[in-house]
Structure 1
Amino acid sequence: MTSAAPGAASAAPDEPTLRRILRATEVDTRMLGMIFALALIWVGFNVYTQIQSGEGLFLTPRNLWNLSVQTSSIAIMGTGMVLIIVMRHIDLSVGSIIGFVSTIIGVAQVRILPEYLGLDSPAIWILAVVLALVVGAAIGALHGSLVAYLGIPAFIVTLGAQLFWRGAAWWVTAGQTIAPLDPRFSLMGGGPHGSIGATWSWVLALLACVGIVFSLYSGRQRRARFRFPQRPMWAEYLIAAVGCFVVLGATLIVNAYPWPERVAARWAEANNVAVPAGGLFISTGWAIPVLIALVVGFAMTFLARRTRFGRYVYAIGGNPEAAELAGINTKRITVMVFALMGMLAAIAACIDSARLDSATNVLGQLDELYTIAAAVIGGTSLAGGVGTIYGALIGALVIQSLQSGMILLGFDSAFQQMVVGVVLVGAVGLDTFYRRRTAKG
Structure 2
Amino acid sequence: MTDVTTSESADRARASELGAVARFLKATEIDTRMLGMVGALLVIWIGFHILSNGLFLTPRNLWNLSVQSSSVAVMATGMVLVIVTRNIDLSVGSLLGFVAMIMGVTQTVFLPRVMGFSLGDPTIWMIALAAGLVVGVVIGAFQGFLIAYLGIPAFIVTLGGLLVWRGAAWWVTSGQTVAPMDATFRLMGGGPEGAIGATWSWVIGLVACVAVILMLLSGRRQRKRFKFPLRPVWAEVFLGTVTCAVILGAVWVANSYPWPAGTVKKYAEANNITIPEGGLFIAHGIAIPVLMAIAAGIIMTFVTTRTRFGRYVFAIGGNPEAAELAGINTRWVTMKIFMVMGFLAAISAAISTARLNAATNAQGTLDELLVIAAAVIGGTSLAGGVGTVAGAMLGALLMQSLQSGMVLLGVDTPLQNIVVGLVLVVAVWLDTLYRRRVQ
CA distance in 1, matches of 2:436, 2:19: 26
Does structure 1 residue 429 correspond to structure 2 residue 432? no
Change (3 A) 1:14 1:177: closer
> Could you list the runs of 5+ residues in structure 2 that have no partner in the other structure?
1-14
Instruction: Report if aligned partners of 1:110, 1:179 keep a CA contact under 8 Å in 2.
Output: yes
8 A Cα contact 1:94 1:162, kept in partner = yes
Change (3 A) 1:226 1:266: same
CA distance in 2, matches of 1:25, 1:138: 43
Calculate the TM-score normalised by the size of structure 1. 0.95
> How far apart, CA to CA, are the structure 1 residues paired with 2:173 and 2:221?
56
For the pair 1:24 / 2:27, whether they are aligned, the reply is: yes
Tell me if the contact between 1:173 and 1:361 (Cα under 8 Å) persists in the aligned partners. no
Task: Give the match for residue 50 of structure 2.
Answer: 47
TM-fit CA distance, 1:17: 2.5
- What CA distance in whole angstroms lies between the structure 2 residues aligned with 1:161 and 1:381? 23
Partner of 2:95: 97
The structural deviation recorded for 1:74 is 0.4
Alignment of 1:279-358 (within 5 A): 279-358=279-358
In the other structure, the counterpart of 1:113 is 111
- Please tell me the residue identity of whatever aligns with 2:268: A
Report matched runs for 1:251-290 at 5 Å: 251-290=251-290
2:248 matched residue in structure 1 = 248
**Alpha-carbon distance in 2 for matches of 1:200, 1:76:** 22
Q: Which deviates more, 150-159 or 354-363?
A: 354-363
> Quick one: distance in 1 between partners of 2:121 and 2:195?
22
Identity, % of aligned pairs?
A: 63
Residues 274-296 of structure 1, C-alpha deviation per residue, up to 9 Å, x if partnerless?
A: 11122211000000000000010
Residue in structure 1 matching 2:56, options 55, 58, 66 = 58
Contact 2:87–2:154, Cα closer than 8 Å, also in 1: yes
CA deviation vs aligned residue, 1:97-152 (integer Å, no higher than 9, x gap) = 11110111111101122233321211111111111111101100100000000000
Q: Distance in 2 between matches of 1:14 and 1:279?
A: 52
Q: What is the count of residue pairs matched by the alignment?
A: 423
Paired residue for 1:36? 39
Amino acid at match of 2:374: A
Deviation at 1:158, TM superposition (A): 0.3
Q: Is the 2:144–2:337 contact (alpha carbons within 8 Å) kept by the matching residues of 1?
A: yes
Contact 2:120/2:183, CA 8 A, preserved across alignment = no
Structure 2 matches for 1:53-92, cutoff 5 A?
A: 56-92=54-90
SS in 2 for 1:116: coil
What are the equivalent positions in structure 2 for 1:319-398 lying under 5 Å apart?
Answer: 319-398=319-398
How far residue 16 of structure 1 moved from its aligned partner, in angstroms, is: 2.7
Deviation at 1:360, TM superposition (A): 1.4
Structure-2 separation of matches of 1:423 and 1:166: 26
Contact 1:143 1:157 in 2 (8 A): yes
Cα root mean square deviation, aligned: 1.2
User: Shift of the alpha carbon at 1:13?
Assistant: 10
Q: Deviations along 1:157-209, whole A, 9 cap, x unmatched?
A: 00001100111110101101111110000000000000000000000000000
Aligned twin of 1:5? none
Amino acid at match of 2:135: V
Residue type of the partner of 1:362?
A: A
Which amino acid in structure 1 is aligned with residue 61 of structure 2?
N
* Whole-Å separation in 2 of the counterparts to 1:415 and 1:386: 31
Cα offset, 1:249, TM superposition: 0.4
**Counterpart AA for 1:23:** K
> Whole-Å Cα distance in 2 between the matches of residues 278 and 58 of structure 1?
26
Q: Is the contact made by 1:93 and 1:159 (CA closer than 8 Å) also made in structure 2?
A: yes
SS in structure 2 of the partner of residue 275 of structure 1: coil
Q: Indicate if the aligned counterparts of 1:378 and 1:391 stay in contact, CA closer than 8 A.
A: yes
Q: Which runs of 4+ in 1 moved over 3 A?
A: 12-15
Residue matched to 2:6? none
